[in-house]
Structure 1
Amino acid sequence: MPQDATVSLDFLLREEKLLQFDRFDQDTATALGAALVARARAASRPVTVEITQGDTVLFAHAMPGASPDHADWIRRKNNLVKRTGHSSFYTHNEVRQAGGDHDRLPGLDMRDYAAHGGAYPIIVRGRGVIGTVTVSGLPGADDHALAVAALKDHLGIGEQP
């Protein structure tokens, strides 16, 4: 999906409601991270992956060829998810559909926030957002798609929302 493609905000909200966990812990993060790395490796995607719970990094991996800059993109995308409670791709689309510039969010220092796809909220039913799963290294829409595909696989969910 091209970065500038318009994606329905309702679709992205349904996706967030669907991709929720009953429980999440270190073992869950390790299994999800390993599956995400395997998916990236199979597609020859030189990405960096990070999974957090709160401010604690539970899983991190940089593929061969990944840029050291990915760490800062991950930090900035994660900050946006923590602030909004939505995926960074949701905010990217929300701002663009309102006619705004996703690289200039009012009231936010773009050195600390990035409205580009790839950071996804880890939502536990009954608890809300408890962390993030983040991919960096591809165009934002592709980072988002890779994270979502791994979450769907892990949660055993088909192609809907």
Structure 2
Amino acid sequence: MSAQEAWPKLDDLLQEESESVLPALSEKIAYDLGRRATDAAWAEGLTVVVGIWRGDHQLFHSALPGSTQDNDEWLQRKGRTVRRFEHSSLYMGQLCRDANTTLSEKFLLPSSEYAAHGGAVPLRVEGAGVVGWMGVSGLPQLDDHRFVVRILREHLRG
């Protein structure tokens, strides 16, 4: 993040989440989202991993050239944060930054298992709430977050 770039406000992140509600999360929808993300990452030359989960079931995974097992580990840690709090991993990081604390200090969660860094977002379904999450790891955290949000918005626009 550049020195001039400000961290997003919690209200803005909540608004983002409320605008990204899916009609359903089927295997086909997860594949379409994951393929859209993978195609965009290939086209942009990004070295990321992409993952989509419904509950404990991983519906999609793609590792692009240059990504590593470390990216998968970060993705899992960010995803655990989304599953626990039903907010994006960036939202939880900002919540902690605003309170001048860390996820580990505030919620007694081990940093080896949870990461409050941008890149994983909840997948909400109309009438059902949060049913899963989508994430990307490999870029700076704000870029990871923005990439996922962009892909969700593109998918929702059709």
1:11 corresponds to which residue?
12
Q: Secondary structure at the match of 1:69?
A: helix
Q: What letter matches 1:40 in structure 2?
A: A
1:102: how far off? 5.3
- Does residue 1:96 correspond to 2:97, yes or no? yes
d(CA) in 2 for partners of 1:2, 1:135: 20
2:29 corresponds to which residue?
28
1:100: how far off? 1.7
Q: Secondary structure at the match of 1:51?
A: strand
- Does residue 1:126 correspond to 2:117, yes or no? no
Q: Map 1:4-83 to 2 at 5 A.
A: 5-83=6-84
1:106: how far off? 3.6
d(CA) in 2 for partners of 1:107, 1:136: 24
| Change in 2 beyond 3 A, CA 1:147/1:2 | farther
d(CA) in 1 for partners of 2:116, 2:38: 23
Q: Report if aligned partners of 1:121, 1:131 keep a CA contact under 8 Å in 2.
A: yes
Q: Secondary structure at the match of 2:117?
A: coil
Q: Report if aligned partners of 2:89, 2:119 keep a CA contact under 8 Å in 1.
A: yes
| Change in 2 beyond 3 A, CA 1:104/1:135 | farther
Larger mean Cα displacement after TM superposition, 5-14 or 50-59:
5-14
Percent identity over the alignment is 39
Larger mean Cα displacement after TM superposition, 67-76 or 4-13:
4-13
Unaligned stretches of 5+ residues in structure 1: none
d(CA) in 1 for partners of 2:36, 2:137: 16
d(CA) in 1 for partners of 2:49, 2:129: 25
Larger mean Cα displacement after TM superposition, 143-152 or 90-99:
90-99
1:70: how far off? 1.1
d(CA) in 2 for partners of 1:2, 1:101: 21
TM-score, length basis structure 2: 0.93
- Name whichever structure is richer in helix by fraction: 2
- Count of residues in Structure 1 that have an aligned counterpart in Structure 2: 157
1:104: how far off? 4.9
> Deviation string for 1:103-147 (max 9, x for gaps)?
755410111100000011000011011011010011111100110
TM-score, length basis structure 1: 0.92
d(CA) in 2 for partners of 1:143, 1:104: 24
